[in-house]
Amino acid sequence: MANEGTQIIMFDPNRRAVVMYLRDDFPHIPYPNRWCVPGGMLEAGESTNECVIREIKEEMGLVLDPNQVEHFATRDCDFGIEHAFLTTVPGLDLDAVHLTEGQALAWFTASDAAQTELAYADNEILARFFATLPAVDGAAGGH
C-alpha cells in the first residue's frame, strides 16, 4: 500500500497568504529543514478529513472546525498519495502557536512560495491554489 497523507492550505481571509511549516532539521526525516504545507500521515481507520484535523491539533495546538475544512485536491506523488484541504484562519497569530514538531511557521504569498523550493511537491499544489484566486484590483498579484 502506498503512503497516504494529508495537508491543509490554511489561508488568510483575503486568500493572499498561506501558513507554511518549517520541518525539523533531522537527517532521518524526509525533507529536513524545508518549508511545506502542514499535514501528516493517515492512521489506520482514519478518514482524510479526520487526519488533517488531528495532525494540526497535535503539531500546532489548533482546533480546526471540520465544517470549514474543504477538500481541494488529491495527488498521486512519487512519495505517495496526498490529500490537500483548504481552510481560512482569520486572526491567526503565528507567534502564539506552540509547535510540538517543526521549527517555525510563516505566512507565504504566491510569490514567496514560487521562489522557495518546498518539500513534498508543495510548489505545485500552492501554484494551483493561488491560480484559483481572482486578480486583486487589476494588479498582477504579489504581496
Domains of the chain in start order, with CATH, are: 4-131 (3.90.79.10)
Q: Which grid coordinates belong to 94?
A: 503565528
Q: Which grid coordinates belong to 7?
A: 495537508
Chain position carrying cell 484535523: 53
Q: Residues 82-96: pLDDT tens digits?
A: 999 999 999 999 999
Q: Judge contact between 36 and 113, C-beta under 8 A.
A: no
Q: Residues 22-39: pLDDT tens digits?
A: 999 999 999 999 999 999
Report the predicted TM-score, pTM, of the whole model to 2 decimal places. Answer: 0.90
Burial group, residue 114, by CB count within 10 angstroms (0-12, 13-18, 19+):
middle
Question: How far is residue 54's CA from residue 50's CA, in Å, rounded to a whole number?
Answer: 6
Which of 126, 98, 119 lies closest to 25 in space, CA to CA?
119
